[in-house]
Amino acid sequence: MSIASVKTPSSLREAQIQSLEKLLNLNQDVNELESSPQHASNFPIWKVLIFDKAGSETISSVLRISDLRKHGVTVHMNITSFRQPIADVPAIYFVQPTQENIELIIEDLSKGLYESAYVCFSSTISRALLEQFAELASKTNTSHMIHQVYDQYLNYVVLESDFFSLQLPKIFHTFHNPSSDEALINSRVQDIVNGLFSVIVTLGTIPIIRCPQGSAAEMVAQKLNQRLKDHLMNTKDAFVSVNPKPRPILILLDRTVDLIPMINHSWTYQALIHDTLNMQLNRITVESVDDGKMTKRFYDLDGNDFFWESNASKPFPKVAENIDEELTRYKNDASEITRKSGVSSLEEVNVDAFADSTYLKSAVSLLPELTARKQILDMHMNIATALLKAIQERHLDDFFQLEDNITGLNRSAILACINNKEQGTPEDKLRFFIIWYLSVDSVPASDLQAYEEALVNNGCTLEALNFVKRVREITKMTMLASSTTRPATGQTGDNLFRGFSSLSTRFTDRFKEAGIGGLENIISGVRNLIPFRKDGTITSIVQSLMDPGSSPASKQTESYLLLDPKSARAITVNNDPRAMNKRQTFSEAIVCVLGGGNYLEYGNLADWAREQNPKKRIIYGSTDILSPSEFMEEMASLS
């Protein structure tokens, strides 16, 4: 395993893209190929990419079709689909190491679909399976067609610059279902270890592992520690031993540590999109009804989207303002070009019409940039419109406002919210109630019954609540010890409930100009809420582990296990004073929550890391990224 690269990537996404680009260039160093065309000419340029579902998820979340083409991939197909032969080109297989996949590869080669095969397994192929693969290749006399076999360690998906998902669904269900047998739990733990190992390999440094004792997280931590130790022993090279980077801390947590962020009604742009629109692997699907016909529109988000990068974690009203500002900036830039060129609109700009090369030059260099900017802004305007509709339909601003001050609510306020027929879906009401239920110290039995009755009367099913009742005690223990609330810097309570009025006039004008009308009514009903930043339980835990002593949660995290894969000691005894330094501060952390994560938690952690002086870096991930609805379903299935 060699981690050395010319340019050190600044984020997990960049690191993954670098690894993927290497894969697409037949495992050759991309920088070397680019700098030396003579060297590059030894390799075929055009190739076919064959992937399985997991491989396609990994690639599609960070690379576009044009990126694949830039690296010479002409066609990409699913390994299970019916494929036609393509002459003279090699095929890159980016698949999971499974029996089915190796059989399919051998079948392709026997049929002579492609000239040769470069097999890249997304995680480590076991020795037994590799033997089987070799045997099959020998039997069918196709081994000469296989040019490379690689373990790529890329079996995870990166959704934001430092946000990953291991794409392992139903982990929360498996870990908390009493009927899950040990074998199933062990196999899921192994899957998690494989995924986390890959993330660590991509990052290129061996972390120090911390986790609470006696939990599923501990099982994962122990196995991961062993895996990293074995790897360090077997491969004397690279990885980290020579890497001068400071070591990060890997914090493994169970989802039950804090359930609230999973079902909270949040107010940030990306969390709202994830909650209200269909967002899967950075693709947003917006359904709209045009002339009585249901149409679906797809929008892809990526790292090149300047607006998304700077606004994803901002509160929605602020994002609306920023769209407005960006549109004004675009209009100014466009009018500048049109003024210089003497045409009335950007569409009329014709490069041939320019006699003067300086105008020509500026127009040629600015036009593509402006067009791309307009496309991005159009996309965000459409998304914002869909969000506004959803906010008004479900009164999400009301829910957000109530949840912002959840502990201060009395019985009548809660019942009023539940019984308000016009406010939210039954699921919204149940989410609100569960958050309240988890936030208060005790609920009298008679009150609880009244709340449950009200919920049932309003169309809610109580399965998820029944599960929460079961885990409440565990969750409350960790939550109470660590949760803190503090106002974000520079924000006062005055603007918390400032009306949308001043904003809405400008905002709607822009939308009208852009051809999106009918928003006045929608906006008038939505408040311009600017939330206090709350440090959730997980942020507090991370803070106390990265900066011991700085957080009230420090006492609680003191008992967390500490495992160092580089240490010769098998497992550190918790109270051993000679053990590793638990007071060490870290500037970089990998936080992985087992059982589901979401954008809200990522946003909270990222905000906290940004506010630190010096800045800290947090890479956040989970076994799966779940929207509040999906998580409610998973909890309900455990009832």
Partner 1 sequence: MTSRTNEFFGLTKNGDIDAANIPLKRISYTDPFLAEGYRIHETIVNLLVFLKKIRGAYLKDRTFSNVQRLSKPLMECSLEELSKLELDEVQRDEIEHEVSSAISSCIHQIAKLQEIVKEQQSQIPKKSGWLQGLRDPSKLSKKETLVAHHSSVLWYLQSELSDVSSVLYHLQDLRLKRGQEKRNIASDFLTKNPTDENSAVEIPESELQTFFTQQQLQELEQENDVLLQEFEHTMERLRDTGKSLADITRLQSEISAQLSIQSSAAEKLYDDALNVMDSLSGGNQQLIKAKSRSSRTARLLFCIFTVMGLLLLSLDRIV
Interaction site with partner 1 (CB under 8 A) = 1-2, 19, 22-23, 26-27, 37-38, 40-46, 48, 65-66, 69-70, 72-75, 81-89, 115, 120, 124-125, 130-131, 133-135, 137-138, 143-144, 146-153, 201, 235, 351-352, 354, 357, 360-361, 364, 368
**Any alpha helices (H) in 483-536, and if so which ranges?**
501-513, 520-524
Q: Which residue lies nearer to partner 1 by CB, 368 or 408?
A: 368
**In angstroms, what is the minimal distance from the CB of 295 to partner 1?**
15
Q: Which residue lies nearer to partner 1 by CB, 73 or 592?
A: 73
- Asked whether the beta carbons of 269 and 316 are under 8 A apart, the reply is yes
Q: Which residue lies nearer to partner 1 by CB, 64 or 245?
A: 64
Q: What three-state secondary structure class fits 257?
A: helix
**In angstroms, what is the minimal distance from the CB of 46 to partner 1?**
6
Q: Which residue lies nearer to partner 1 by CB, 302 or 547?
A: 302
Convert 360-382 to b/e letters by CB count within 10 Å (16 or more is b): eebbeeeeeebeebbebbebbbb
Structure tokens at 45: 């340029």
Burial of 138 (0-12, 13-18, 19+ CB in 10 A): exposed
Structure tokens at 243: 């890497």
Beta-sheet pairing, 617-622 with 163-165: parallel
The CA-based angle 499-599-390, given to 5 degrees, is 45
33, 91, 314 from 30: Cα distances, Å: 5, 18, 36
Distance of alpha carbon 459 from alpha carbon 440, whole angstroms: 24
Distance of alpha carbon 123 from alpha carbon 199, whole angstroms: 11
**In angstroms, what is the minimal distance from the CB of 17 to partner 1?**
14
**In angstroms, what is the minimal distance from the CB of 109 to partner 1?**
13
**In angstroms, what is the minimal distance from the CB of 544 to partner 1?**
36
Q: Which residue lies nearer to partner 1 by CB, 72 or 212?
A: 72
**In angstroms, what is the minimal distance from the CB of 337 to partner 1?**
15
**In angstroms, what is the minimal distance from the CB of 280 to partner 1?**
15
**In angstroms, what is the minimal distance from the CB of 47 to partner 1?**
10
Q: Which residue lies nearer to partner 1 by CB, 290 or 352?
A: 352
Q: Which residue lies nearer to partner 1 by CB, 68 or 327?
A: 68
**In angstroms, what is the minimal distance from the CB of 361 to partner 1?**
7
Structure tokens at 46: 């055009």
Strands of 72-145, DSSP E:
73-78, 90-95, 116-121
Q: Which of 100, 158, 97, 153 is nearest to 128 (CA)?
A: 97
Any residues with CB less than 8 A from the CB of 170 and at least 6 apart, and which?
Answer: 624, 634
Q: Which residue lies nearer to partner 1 by CB, 97 or 317?
A: 97
The CA-based angle 614-491-549, given to 5 degrees, is 40
Q: Which residue lies nearer to partner 1 by CB, 88 or 181?
A: 88
**In angstroms, what is the minimal distance from the CB of 157 to partner 1?**
17
Q: Which residue lies nearer to partner 1 by CB, 131 or 576?
A: 131
Q: Which of 518, 263, 498, 510 is nearest to 380 (CA)?
A: 510
Backbone φ and ψ of 201, nearest 5°: -60, -45
Instruction: Find out whether the peptide bond into 614 is cis, omega within 30 degrees of 0.
Output: yes
